[in-house]
Amino acid sequence: MTADTSEKGLETLIFRHMTGTDGLPGVPNRVAAPSSVPGGTGYFPGRRQDYDRDQALDTAQLFAFLRATQPEAFEKLALGGKGGSGGFEHIEFLARLSGEIGKRGVIDVLRKGIDHRSEHVDLFYGTPSRGNAKAERLHGLNRFSLTRQLAYSPDETRRALDLVLFLNGLPLATFELKNRLTRQTVADAVEQYRRDRNPREKLFQFGRCVVHFAVDDGEVRMCTELCGKDSWFLPFNRGYHDGAGNPPNPQGLKTDYLWREVLTPAGLTDILENYAQIVEEKDSTTGKKRRKQVWPRYHQLDLVRRILADVRAHGEGRRYLIQHSAGSGKSNSIAWLSHQLMGLRRGDKPVFDSVIVVTDRLVLDSQIQTTIRQFMQVGATVGHAEHSGDLRRFLEQGKKIIVSTVQKFPVILGEIAIEAGKTFAIVIDEAHSSQGGKTSGAMNQALAGQAEGIRTDGNEEGDGPDPEDWVNETLENRMAERKMLTNASYFAFTATPKNKTLEMFGEPQPRDGEGRIKHRPFHCYTMKQAVEEGFILDVLQAYTPVDSYYKLVAKTEADPEFDTRKAKKKLRRYVEGHDHAIRLKAEIMADHFHEQVIAAGKIGGEARGMVVAGGIERAIQYFHALKAYLQERKSPYRAIVAFSGEHDDGGVKVTEASLNGFPSCDIPSRFRTAPYRFLVCADKFQTGYDEPLLHTMYVDKPLSGIKAVQTLSRLNRAHPKKHDCFILDFQNNAEAITCAFQDYYRTTLLAEETDPNRLHDLKTALDDAQVYAPEQVSQVVARFLEGANRDELDPILDACVAQYVERLDEDEQVEFKGKAKSFCRTYGFLSSVLSFSIVGWEKLSLFLDLLTPKLPAPKEENLAKGILEAIDMDSYRVEKKAAMRIALEDQDGEIEPVPAEGGGRKPEPEMDRLSNIIRKFNEQFGTLFTDGDRIVRRIRDDIAPQVAADAAFRNAMANTPHTARLAHDKALDKVMQTLMLEDTQVYRQFVENESFKRFVGDVVYAMTNL
C-alpha cells in the first residue's frame, strides 16, 4: 500500500481524528443506530441517511440529544413516535425547529432554545459554572457530530459536501476539501462553493449554518454567508513570517490547527458562547436593516484566548500592547475581549470588578458600545459614560462594562472615589493617541481613588504638620497617583504604536548584546499579513506622485532683501494655494475620477474619492473649485466638505454644515449616497474613518510618519467588489511615504528604553542657567499645592522671567526654553512607568509647567514680510508621474525612544535679494534639478546649517570632541531624512551612492567646524 494523497485521504484523516473512526462502510441500505459514545476529539460519527434534507437537520443526533437531556419534554411532545418511527408530532416539531432557525439563526436557537406547544426545549447546554453538577452532566450530553459526503439537496442528491459538522443535530459548519498533491487548492474549494452550492438550498440559507470552510493541506478560508459568485471568503490562517499562510508543521499538516484546536468541542463551545453572532446593521440614511453573521478571524480568536490565559496565570496589574493592522476588525476584538474579561475568574473570585473601554474615535465610541451590547446579550451590563457622575452611577448600578471617549474620561473619573480593593481592566482603543502623559496620569489617578493632596490643619492638641513635610508628602502622593496602577490591567490596541506606547505597554525583552532593552507588542496582526490575506488592500499598490512646476516674476523694479528660508516657505504656500493652481488641480482630480474610477466601474460603480487638503482655507477652496467644475462638465456628482469650527470664506463666516446644506453628523451617511462622490477634508476623517467604498485619494498636504500611514490607510478597507485603490499625491514623494509605512509593515519594536538619567542631565543644565533659585521653586510649588491665588504665584514667576530675559542671550533663551519643555514632556511620560520616584523632578516639572508659558519667545523680525506683494505667478503646470507600486522591506520596524535632549538655537537669517530668491526658487521648482551647482547650494544653504544646529552634535563638539564625528554623522542622517520631501534627487544620491555620501559627510563636517 502507498500513502493516500487524494482528497478522500484528507477527508479520512480529518474524520478519523475528530470521531475516532473512518465513517460507516459504503453499503447503501445499511442502517445502524447512532453511536452512544463519541470518539477522537469528542465527535460522534454522523450518518448520511439521518439527514433530513427538507429541514436541514440530523434527526438521529437531534432526538438522541433530546431523549437523553429532556426526557419529560420528549415524552410530552411525543417525539419518539409510534414504535420509534416518526409520527405527526415528530414532523411538526422538526418543522417548528426549522422555522425558528430560519427566522432567528442557528446560533440564537442553540443559545436560547425554542418553545413548542406547552414545552420549552433546550438545544444546547453551555459551559457549566464551577460546582454545578447538573449543568456539568447536561453539558456532557451535547452531541458534536461529523458527517462525510453529505447529500444535502432534495433535488440533486448526487451533490454532496465533503464534511458537515452538527451540534445536537443542528448544522454549524460545512467543509469543501482540496489537496495540493492532486493539483487542487483552497481556491478551487472556494470556486466550488461559489459555482456549485446554490444559496437557495435550505442548508445554505442565511443563518442556518454558521460558517463554511474551504480547506486544503496549506490554507483555510471561511465564509459566513453564501451568495453564489459574490460569496466572500476570507483567510482563516495562523500567519507565517508576519505574512499570509501557515507555518510548516513538524507534527502534521499546516492546517490541522483547524480540527485539532479550533473545532474541538471545547473550542467550538467557546466560539458559540463568546464570539459567533448575527448582528443587525441599520443604514442611518435609508433606515434599511441588514443582518450579518459573524465568525471570528483566526488572529482575533488567538488574541483573546492568549490574553485570557495570561490574565488567568498572572492576575491583574499587567500591560498588553496589541498591534493589529487597520481594517483587522479591532471593534469586534475589543468587544469580545471586554465581554470575556468581565466574566474572567481566578479561583472563586472575579479578576476584575469593572471593564472600562476608552476610545479616541467618536465614531467608535458608539460602535464599540453597540458591538459589546450585541455580543453581551445583556445590555444592562453596559454603560456609556458621557457626563460627570455617569461612571459612579454605573458602578453603583452594577454595570460591569463602561465605554467612554478619552476626551471625557479624565473629567468623568475626576469626580469619583472608588472603594479600596477594586480592580480594573482598561481597554484602550488607538493607544498611540490616547496615552499622553497627562491623560494617562488623570486616568490612573482617578482609578486609584486617591484625591489630590489637600493641606489639613493640625489637631487641637498640637501643632500642625511641618509645611515642608506636608509638601513632600503631597508630592509623593501626586507621583504615586500617576503611576500605572497595580490594581489594573491595561489592554492597548493600535495599528501604529509610537515610542511612548511601546515603552508604556510593550513587553520588555532581555538585554541585547549592546545592553539595550527592547520592547515588543504582546500580539501582532501585521499590515503585511492583512494585505496578503486580503483583509485590507495595499494602499501603496498604485501610488502616483504629481510634480508641480511654476514660474514667478517680480512686480517691482526695486530689488529688496528677504530671509531666503522663510521666503521659500511663503512662496511655496502662495503658489500651491493660488486660485489658478487649486482650480487646475481640482480639474485633474475630477477628470481622473470620472475617467479612471467611474468609467472603470470601480467597486461596482459605487467608488468614492477623498481630497486631503492642507488646512481649512485650502479645503474650502477645493470645495468651491470642485463644485464649479463638476457643474461645468455637467457631472451628476457632488462634493462634501469636512472641517471643524467656523471659518471665514470671502468675508462670510461659514461652517461645513452651511456649505454642505445638511448637519455635520450626516456627513458619513450622506457620503455613501447619490450624488455625493467627493469628500474634501481638512484633518477630519483622516483617522478612524471606516468607509469601504472609498477608492481614490487626492493628497495636497505634506504627510509623514504615523499621520501618513493613518491618512492613506483610509483607502484600505475591504469590500467584496473592491479590488484595488489609487492615490494621486500633489505634495509628497514615494521615498517619504515608504519611510512612513516601513516602521508599521511588520512588528514594530522599541529600539531601547528611555534613559531616565537624561532627566538628571536636563535638570542640571536648567539649574545652571540660574533663571530660578531652589527656594523659588519650593515657594511656587508649596503655594500652588495650597491653592494660593495667582497674585501669590506670579510675583515669583515674573522675577524668574526677568532673570531669563536679562541673563540669557537669544540663543540661550531658545536653548533654556527647549530644555524646559523637553524635561516636562519626558518626565510626564517616565513618571508613569518608572519604578522609582524623585521629588525633585516632580517639583521642577510642576514649577516649569507654570513658568514656561510666561517665557517670551525671542524677538523675531519677519524678514520675509512683503514678499508676496512683490511677486506674481507667471505660469503653473503639474506633471503626473507614472503610477508605481511601493514595495516595503520585509523586516520588523524599530523606532527610537522618546527624545530627551531638548535645547536648540535661533537660526540666523540668510538675507538675499528678491531677484536671487525668485531665480533660486524657479531653479528648484521649475526644472528637473540635474545641475551640480544646485546640489552644492543645497548642501551649503540647507544641510550644513541644520546639522550645525543639532543639539547632540553641538554637545559632543563642546564636551566630547572624540565623539563629534559620530554625532555629526547621526545628525546628518536625520537631516537627510527630512530632505526627502524637499529634494528627492539629493536624498536618493545620498542613500544609493556611497562615494557621494562620503563627499557630503566630509564637506558638511568641514563646514560645521569652521
Contact 917, 562 (CB under 8 A): yes
**CA 152 to CA 129: how far, in whole Å?**
37
Grid cell 459554572 in the structure block, residue: 129
Residue 194 to residue 327: CA distance in whole angstroms: 25
**Closest listed residue to residue 777, CA positions, set 759, 797, 792:** 797
3-state class of 661 per DSSP? coil
H/E stretch holding 679:
strand 676-681
DSSP state of 203: G
Q: Which amino acid is at 295?
A: W
Reduced to 3 states, what is the DSSP secondary structure of residue 580?
helix
Contact yes or no for 385/404 (Cβ under 8 A): yes
190-212 burial: b if 16+ Cβ within 10 Å, else e: bbbbbeebebebbbbebbbbbbb
The residues, any chain, with a CB within 8 Å of residue 306's CB and separated by 6 or more, are 522, 523
Query: What is the spatial distance between Cα 229 and Cα 213, in angstroms, rounded to a whole number?
Result: 16
| Cell triple for 247 | 507555518
Strand stretches in 307-438, DSSP E: 319-324, 345-346, 349-350, 354-359, 382-384, 401-405, 424-428
HSE (side-chain half, CA atoms, 13 Å) at 135: 7
> Cα separation of 848 and 937, whole Å?
41
Q: Are 910 and 948 in contact (CB under 8 A)?
A: no
Query: Strand 647-649 relative to strand 694-700: parallel, antiparallel, unpaired?
Result: unpaired
d(CA 413, CA 331): 24
Between the CA of residue 660 and those of 285, 286, 664, what are the distances in Å?
Answer: 16, 19, 8
Residues 6+ apart with CB under 8 A from 455: 470, 474, 785, 786, 787
Largest CA distance in the chain: 113
Tell me the C-alpha distance between 504 and 838, whole Å: 19
CA distances from 550 to 158, 579, 698, 728, 921 (A): 71, 14, 20, 19, 9
DSSP state of 872: E
The 3-class secondary structure across 700-730, one letter per residue, is: ECCCCHHHHHHHHHHHCECCCCCCCCEEEEC
Distance CA 862, CA 562 (A): 9
Output the CA angle 301-496-318, nearest 5 degrees: 60
Three cell numbers, residue 253 = 499538516
Question: CA 813 from chain center: how many Å?
Answer: 40
What's the first-to-final CA gap in the chain, in angstroms? 85
Please state, in angstroms and rounded to a whole number, the distance separating the CA atoms of residues 840 and 933.
54
Q: What is the pLDDT of residue 84?
A: 43
Neighbours of 31 (CB within 10 A): 9
CB 895 within 8 A of CB 751: yes
Q: What angle do CA 367, 407, 315 make, to 5 degrees?
A: 75
Which DSSP symbol is given to 952?
H
Burial 396-408 (b: 16+ CB within 10 A, else e): eeebbbbbbbbeb
Reduce the DSSP state of residue 256 to 3 states and report it.
coil
Cβ distance 195 to 230 under 8 Å? no
Residue with cell 414532523: 91
CA–CA dist 321, 524 (Å, integer) = 9
* Angstrom distances, CA of residue 52 to CA of 153, 173, 797: 10, 16, 85
Contact 163, 55 (CB under 8 A): no
| Phi, then psi, of 760 in degrees rounded to 5 | -60, -45
Phi, psi (deg, nearest 5) at residue 317: 105, 5
Which residues on adjacent β-strands are paired with residue 215? 177, 220
Residue 982 gets which letter from DSSP?
T
The order of strands in the sheet holding 401-405 is 382-384, 401-405, 354-359, 424-428, 488-494, 319-324, 523-525
What are the grid coordinates assigned to 334, written together?
Answer: 475589543
Q: What pLDDT does 461 receive?
A: 38
Please list, in sequence order, all residues whose beta carbon lies within 8 angstroms of the beta carbon of residue 883, skipping any fewer than 6 positions away. Answer: 542, 543, 544, 726
- Where on the phi/psi map is residue 56: left (φ > 0), alpha (ψ -120 to 50), or beta? left
Q: Give 328's contacts (C-beta < 8 A, 6+ positions apart).
A: 297, 299, 300, 495, 525, 530, 535, 536
d(CA 821, CA 806): 20
- How far is Cα 967 from Cα 608, in angstroms, rounded to an integer? 48
Q: Phi and psi (nearest 5°) for 464?
A: -70, 175
**Contact yes or no for 640/678 (Cβ under 8 A):** yes
Residue corresponding to grid cell 450579518:
292
Exposed/middle/buried for residue 282 (C-beta within 10 Å: 0-12, 13-18, 19+)? exposed
Element (H, E) at 51: strand 51-52
User: Which residue is listed with cell 478522500?
Assistant: 8
In DSSP terms, 58 is beta-bridged to 51
Cross-strand partners of 211: 173
C-alpha grid cell for residue 47? 450518518
Phi, psi of 885 (to 5 degrees): -105, 115
CB 886 within 8 A of CB 734: yes
What residues of the chain score a pLDDT lower than 70?
1-2, 24-36, 81-86, 156-157, 283-286, 360-380, 387-389, 406-420, 431-472, 474-484, 547-576, 835, 858-886, 895-937, 959-963, 980-982, 984-985, 992-996, 999, 1010
By CB atoms closer than 10 A (0-12, 13-18, 19+), residue 347 is exposed
State whether the Cα torsion 84-86-88-89 is positive or negative. Answer: positive
Helix 579-592, helix 564-577: angle, nearest 10: 50
Q: Which residue has the cell 499622553?
A: 436
Q: Are 326 and 536 in contact (CB under 8 A)?
A: yes
Any idea which residue has 473601554 for its cell? 357
